[in-house]
Amino acid sequence: MKPFAYQRAKDVESAVTTVAARPEASFLGGGTNLVDLMKMEVLKPELLVDVRHLVSRTIEPAHGGGLLIGAGMSNNELAADRRIRRRYPMLSQALLSGASYQLRNLATVGGNFLQRTRCPYFRDVTMPCNKREPGTGCAARDGVQRDLAVLGADASCVATHPSDMAVAMAALDAVLHTVGPSGERTIPVNELYRSPAEGPQRDTVLERGELITAVELPAAPVAAHSRYRKVRDRASYAFALVSVAAALEVRHGSVTQVRLALGGVAHKPWRATTAERALVGRPATEAGFRAAAEAELAAARPLAGNAFKVPLARNTIVSMLRDLTEGA
Amino acid sequence: MTSPNETNEPSRRAVLKAGVAGLGATMVPFGAFEALGAEPAQAAGPVTAPPAAASRGGIGAALKRVEGPLKVRGAATYAFEWPVEKPAYLYPLLSTIASGRVTSVDTRAALAEPGVLGVLTHLNAPRLAWADEPEVALLQSDRVAYHGQIVGAVIADGIETARYAAGLVKLEYAAEPVDVDLRTDRDDLRKPQHAQGFGQLPGDLMNGAPADTSAGDFAAGLASAVHRVDATYTTPVQHHNPMEPHAAVATWTDDEITLYCGSQGVSTPQELLTRAFGLEAGRLRLISPYVGGAFGSKDFSALWGTLALMGARLVPGRPVKLSFTRQQMFTLVGHRPAAIQRVRLGADARGRLVAISHDAVQETAKAKQYAEQTVQASRSMYAAPNRRTSTRIALLDVPIPTIMRGPGEATGMFALESAMDELAEKMGLDPIELRLLNEPQTHPETGQPFSSRHLKQCFEEGARRFGWKNRARKPRTRRKDGWLIGTGVAAATYPSPRLPGSTAFARVDRDGRYTVRIAAADIGTGTWTTLAQIAAEALGVPQNRVTLQIGDSSYPRASSGGFSSGMNSWGTTVYEAARALHAAVDEHGGKVPPEGIEVTVGMPDDPRLRQYEFGSYGAQFAEVRVHEDTGEIRVPRLLGVFDVGRVINPVTARSQLLGGMTWGLSMTLHEETALDHRYGHFVNNDFGGYHIAANADVGSIEVHFLDVRDPHINPMGSKGAGEIGIIGTAAAIANGAYNATGVRVRDLPLTLDKFL
Ligand SMILES: Cc1cc2nc3c(=O)[nH]c(=O)nc-3n(C[C@H](O)[C@H](O)[C@H](O)COP(=O)(O)OP(=O)(O)OC[C@H]3O[C@@H](n4cnc5c(N)ncnc54)[C@H](O)[C@@H]3O)c2cc1C
């Protein structure tokens, strides 16, 4: 680990100015991802600006009936909140399926969105990796492929985004509130992550020094009937091979509203808009679910070592929608 | 009173030889030691177990681990935790190519870093007096034989400084093509030779057994069979991953050299390192009271000892601490080699086997030929007149494999016991019935009698307890809430060897207190407790009058803990010492003089060891669920019934077998180290990527013993209990998964994609 300086910023403005001005500075949340990567020298910030105390750690009502979640809230606090559990159960379930109890106590909401890929070639500084060192190539593509992306990837990068929370947030149309060098703005989660074709070295559209202060969950009555299902290589404490966040409303046998997002399959939480379109207004049948899942996955470009993710994603989508229809 | 060193001296030469013999067989799970109580002395005093509670103790007593409270309180000193003054820290530097040479070394930036005391590379590392053993011979040349090999080390005042400065050392390499592909069609596969120990003993395989065997006419036998199975099973590289990393604290002074080092034995590595560094006998003292898991990876434990000693020599008088990171443990301390196994079975119309063959092709390192006994269990499990086994290895640019959790049998029995299930399925026979039909009366290859073999009782009792008769015979018939449910069974066997070369010291004081001292090890298995029980039994006194001392190379030499041999080897020796002590007391007319009486004796030879086959047995049952949509696999229930002879301590024995079955579950469902075929490196080299069963993966596990004494094996009547727990679990689960789904997976681990 490279020696570094640590600083507790006194306010948001100075935190933003400091990090914006110094390319080798980085915000520090819970540190559960950043510090790991520093130990491996994948990231070598010279200055850590601790922001955890600067951003809110509470949930407030937002206008329009939604909720505004402070970016400094821990993953466990958010998962345990009654409003979240009642109104957005998929989000609570997604959080609880991630990491371990101890890590979730430390991990922040802001940091969770920005955690880096678990691609083992990104995490090994002796390997070529366009995300870590632009222009060096992608070692993963012809390497060990089990965890790689099947949707939205590019020859330059086939890494997946590892977050569970962000998958539920994508399905719920959550919106980030940020403060950056050029002021405040809001960014829908579904527009946060850049496609690898735009250059894999930058994961998101955030500017240098742009701080996530809160996440807004819009009101979504359908989300009260939602679930998160994570399929992985062991029963707990593993990243998703495929995960599905789904909310469904069925009236008179037809789908009236649906939210569907996939994890473990792309460089970002994958909002399944093609499948959603194929579902709405159609009968809530197993055949219909299957056709919708297949329509979404038609764009999949799997590699030999992760081809199983396509049928796995399809089956998981179908079984989630079936369970939600049966109201189980 | 004689000092332990003097007592030891006469036998040291002989012991060294025996030590080498012992090496071939050392491995297995290891355990804990009993140290000095809460405040260990600087230069360790005697390593002593707290006396057992006031109970009589002795063999069969259900005693809890005597060192348990120390461990729970965090007061047990694992290697890295020995309190030493002002230590320096060593951080190793690993190669980033898999094959080639180091062509240039630039240590200037590292040396310029404040706090850095020195940088070791092949250019300045001490030349070893003996470098024939590749795992000891660190930094002796510019040659790189695998990715992640030690090519240097930084010694610094602080651990972080050492680690950071290691990144500043610039190495350049001339890389050569990488060859890490294990395939059965390679034309350079070879028969292993002298793969045992350090290549100095006869025998082809690691345990001294031949690579190949045959009896009768296999081809003719198979041709005559009515039912046949011909299937190939593959198992991946797996890593031991003990909780405690491989760590050492070394201090080099003009007279004594001390090495605290988590190790499965103390004598053998002490002898190896003494030889490697060309030291006078007895100058190096290796102390290892507690080991936080080893599973084979701390047996040939000289590598990190060598590195720590090299570091210590650089800063004489100052202790040097070393602890590998989890990532480094993936290349430096061994792995279970990948294997491809073909099993062919031929049976007559009733199900009696007429032909068995088991052919294994396994990976090993160019750096060191290691070959394990994958096919060994197939030599003794079932009767059949026509049979053959063979072992071939591919020498690859991979890190050096080693013994791991039932090496050979764990993977070999996955293949054999899966094939038996396939045969039973083909014939419509109950898989237990098929096995019992083929129970041999004597060893099928040697014709020797089994000293004791109660496999049939294991199956019968297991079937009754598990509720085997309720199983659905036809695959894919039971389902609940989207999960397909099945049950599977497999046999288990593991040899019960006695390793040569142990010596024990026993003493009685005038006040009737006894001391027993032997350089045995407790790797978490319970030696502190169980060896004291044996000593009390052998001495015929309550256990609270016996003080046991183990885990220190200054004690009388002992074989390492491994190969499920510890209790058998050390217990027999302790028994002999007790007998000799009684005889000595008798010579004194039954009176103990004021200075006490003491004896030191070696392990006796016993002709019966050559007249019988010794082994432990078991029957493993599994309930398996596979999700219909996702292929996720769960094992809510495992049950094992084991014949391990007389049980020395039901608490520690149960714990050991429970742990073994959990490892079995883990190797079946999760464990796989992925190898990159272009770079030759292990890709998933941390706990995020290398999956071990989590709590949520482990359901109910029941362990039962027959507790039947073996009449010939040793004075205790006990057989090996170290590794039998992991044997057969994989096949029981895979067979259960087949029963649940109708999908036969012959490739470990049983990941969900294989059921989709
Ligand atoms: C063993 C292990 C297992 C895990 N398993 C899972 C899993 O199954 N599922 C899952 O989803 N996750 C998992 N995680 C990841 C975990 O969720 C993340 O590490 C965590 O959410 C990151 O949050 P943090 O606050 O610790 O971020 P940090 O590590 O502090 O920061 C991460 C990044 O976010 C930036 N950052 C932090 N806060 C802000 C902010 N407010 N504004 C702008 N930038 C910010 C930092 O600069 C840094 O770049 C696992 C992690 C570990 C170590």
What are A's interface residues with B at a Cβ cutoff of 8 A? 1-3, 41, 118, 120-121, 124, 126-127, 139, 142-144, 146, 231, 233-239, 241, 308, 311-312, 315-316, 318-319
Contact call for B629 and A315, based on CB within 8 A: yes
Tell whether A196 is covered by a domain: no
What does the angle CA B446 – CA B452 – CA B456 come to, to the nearest 5 degrees? Answer: 100
Tell whether A115 is covered by a domain: no
Determine the 3-state secondary structure of A180 from DSSP.
strand
Q: Nearest chain A residue to B636 by CA: give it.
A: A235
Contact call for B163 and A315, based on CB within 8 A: no
Q: Hey, what are B630's tokens?
A: 């996702």
Confidence of residue A242 (pLDDT cuts 50, 70, 90): very high
Any idea which residue has 């094959």 for tokens?
B99
User: Could you tell me if B172 lies within 8 Å of chain A, comparing CB atoms?
Assistant: no
**CATH number of A279's domain:** 3.30.390.50
- Considering its fold, how many domains does chain A have in total? 2
Domain limits for position A23 = 1-54
**CATH number of A13's domain:** 3.30.43.10
- Predicted TM-score of the model (pTM): 0.95
Q: Using a 6 Å cutoff on CB, does residue A160 contact ligand 1?
A: no
Tell whether A317 is covered by a domain: yes
Asked if residue B749 has a cis previous peptide bond (ω within 30° of 0), the answer is yes
Listed in order, strand segments (DSSP E) in A121-275 are 175-180, 183-188, 211-217, 226-232, 240-251, 254-263, 270-271
- Separation of alpha carbons B693 and A236, rounded Å: 9
For B592-638, what is each residue's pLDDT tens digit?
A: 999 999 999 999 999 999 999 999 999 999 999 999 999 999 999 99
Distance of CA B693 to the CA centre of its chain: 19
Closest CA to B490 of B351, B625, B639: B639
Confidence of residue B301 (pLDDT cuts 50, 70, 90): low
Q: Hey, what are B411's tokens?
A: 């993977």
Q: How many CB atoms lie within 10 A of CB B43?
A: 12
- Separation of alpha carbons A163 and A160, rounded Å: 9
Beta bridge partners of B214: B388
Name chain B contacts of A237, Cβ cutoff 8 Å.
Answer: 694, 696
- Separation of alpha carbons B715 and B30, rounded Å: 23
- Separation of alpha carbons B646 and B567, rounded Å: 12
Q: Using a 6 Å cutoff on CB, does residue A110 contact ligand 1?
A: yes
Q: Which atom of ligand 1 is nearest to the CA of A26?
A: 47
Contact call for B697 and A235, based on CB within 8 A: yes
ipTM: 0.97
B389 burial (CB, 10 Å; 0-12 / 13-18 / 19+) is buried
Backbone angles phi and psi of B222, in degrees to 5: -65, -40
Q: Say which residues have a Cβ less than 8 Å from residue B74's Cβ, sequence separation at least 6.
A: none
User: Could you tell me if B670 lies within 8 Å of chain A, comparing CB atoms?
Assistant: yes
Q: Nearest chain A residue to B672 by CA: give it.
A: A233
Q: Check residue B13 and give its pLDDT.
A: 30
Name chain A contacts of B697, Cβ cutoff 8 Å.
Answer: 234-236
Determine the 3-state secondary structure of B577 from DSSP.
helix
Backbone angles phi and psi of B658, in degrees to 5: -60, -45
- DSSP string covering B178-219, please? ------TT-TT-B---S-STTS-SSSSSTTS--S-EEES-HH
Q: Check residue B164 and give its pLDDT.
A: 96
pLDDT of residue B14 exceeding 80, the answer is no
Which whole number is the average pLDDT over B288-314?
92
Instruction: Supply the DSSP symbol for A291.
Output: H
Any idea which residue has 């994948």 for tokens?
A42
For atom 43 of ligand 1, the residue with the nearest CA is: A211
Q: Check residue B127 and give its pLDDT.
A: 97
pLDDT of residue A279 exceeding 80, the answer is yes
Q: Using a 6 Å cutoff on CB, does residue A30 contact ligand 1?
A: yes
User: Could you tell me if B681 lies within 8 Å of chain A, comparing CB atoms?
Assistant: yes
Confidence of residue B133 (pLDDT cuts 50, 70, 90): confident
Any idea which residue has 């499990």 for tokens?
B381
- DSSP string covering A107-120, please? -BHHHHHHPPP--T
User: To 10 degrees, what angle do helices A286-297 and A309-325 make?
Assistant: 140
User: Could you tell me if B637 lies within 8 Å of chain A, comparing CB atoms?
Assistant: no
Taking CA atoms, B475 is separated from B47, B159, B351, B624, B740, in Å, by 55, 56, 20, 12, 6
Name chain A contacts of B624, Cβ cutoff 8 Å.
Answer: none
For B231-274, what is each residue's pLDDT tens digit?
A: 999 999 999 999 999 999 999 999 999 999 999 999 999 999 99
Taking CA atoms, A299 is separated from A151, A275, A310, B212, B756, in Å, by 7, 12, 10, 52, 20
Whether B723 sits among the annotated catalytic residues: the reply is yes
Q: Check residue B194 and give its pLDDT.
A: 75
Listed in order, strand segments (DSSP E) in B331-449 are 339-347, 353-365, 386-396
When scoring A6, A237, A316 by the number of chain B Cβ atoms within 10 A, the one with the most, hence best to mutate, is A237
User: To 10 degrees, what angle do helices B729-741 and B409-427 make?
Assistant: 30
Q: Hey, what are B578's tokens?
A: 């007790």
- Separation of alpha carbons A62 and A66, rounded Å: 5
For B664-721, what is each residue's pLDDT tens digit?
A: 999 999 999 999 999 999 999 999 999 999 999 999 999 999 999 999 999 999 999 9
User: Could you tell me if B693 lies within 8 Å of chain A, comparing CB atoms?
Assistant: yes
Q: Hey, what are A42's tokens?
A: 């994948």
Tell whether A299 is covered by a domain: yes
For ligand 1, the distance from its centroid to the CA atom of residue B375, given in whole angstroms, is 47
Residue ranges in chain A assigned as alpha helix (H): 12-21, 34-39, 75-80, 82-87, 89-96, 101-106, 109-114, 165-171, 273-279, 286-297, 309-325
Q: Kind of pairing, strands B320-323 and B339-347?
A: unpaired
Q: Hey, what are A258's tokens?
A: 């649906």
Taking CA atoms, B752 is separated from A229, B209, B274, B571, B747, in Å, by 15, 37, 49, 45, 12
For ligand 1, the distance from its centroid to the CA atom of residue B87, given in whole angstroms, is 34
For ligand 1, the distance from its centroid to the CA atom of residue B30, given in whole angstroms, is 36
Contact call for A124 and B689, based on CB within 8 A: no
Closest CA to B259 of B278, B287, B280, B279: B287
Determine the 3-state secondary structure of B657 from DSSP.
helix
For B39-81, what is each residue's pLDDT tens digit?
A: 222 334 556 655 555 467 899 999 999 999 999 999 999 999 9
Tell whether A8 is covered by a domain: yes
Tell whether A64 is covered by a domain: no
Beta bridge partners of A142: none
User: Could you tell me if B676 lies within 8 Å of chain A, comparing CB atoms?
Assistant: yes
The mean of the pLDDT values for chain B is 91
What does the angle CA B435 – CA B438 – CA B441 come to, to the nearest 5 degrees? Answer: 125
> By the 8 A CB rule, do A213 and A55 touch?
yes
The mean of the pLDDT values for chain A is 97
Name chain A contacts of B683, Cβ cutoff 8 Å.
Answer: 120-121, 124, 143-144
Q: Say which residues have a Cβ less than 8 Å from residue B90's Cβ, sequence separation at least 6.
A: B153, B154, B155, B162, B307, B308, B311, B320, B321, B322
For B411-448, what is each residue's pLDDT tens digit?
A: 999 999 999 999 999 999 999 999 999 999 999 999 99
Name chain A contacts of B96, Cβ cutoff 8 Å.
Answer: 126
Tell whether A95 is covered by a domain: no
Domains of chain B, with CATH numbers? 25-74+498-607 (3.30.365.10), 80-177+243-332 (3.30.365.10), 408-496+614-674+699-756 (3.30.365.10)
User: Could you tell me if B605 lies within 8 Å of chain A, comparing CB atoms?
Assistant: no
- Separation of alpha carbons B577 and B164, rounded Å: 52
User: Could you tell me if B694 lies within 8 Å of chain A, comparing CB atoms?
Assistant: yes
Q: Hey, what are A169's tokens?
A: 């947030």
Tell whether A88 is covered by a domain: no
Q: Check residue A308 and give its pLDDT.
A: 98
For A64-107, what is each residue's pLDDT tens digit?
A: 999 999 999 999 999 999 999 999 999 999 999 999 999 999 99
Of the three residues A39, A54, A69, the one that is the final residue of a domain is A54
What is the arrangement of strands in the sheet containing A270-271, beginning at the earlier edge strand?
A226-232, A240-251, A254-263, A270-271
Question: Which member of B482, B670, B695 has the closest CB to residue A233?
Answer: B670
Q: Say which residues have a Cβ less than 8 Å from residue B272's Cβ, sequence separation at least 6.
A: B133, B136, B302
Contact call for B691 and A234, based on CB within 8 A: yes
Name chain A contacts of B695, Cβ cutoff 8 Å.
Answer: 236
User: With a CB-CB cutoff of 8 Å, which residues 715-754 of chain B face chain A?
Assistant: 751-753
Contact call for B756 and A144, based on CB within 8 A: no
Beta bridge partners of B287: B260, B552
B236 CA: distance to closest CA in chain A (Å):
14
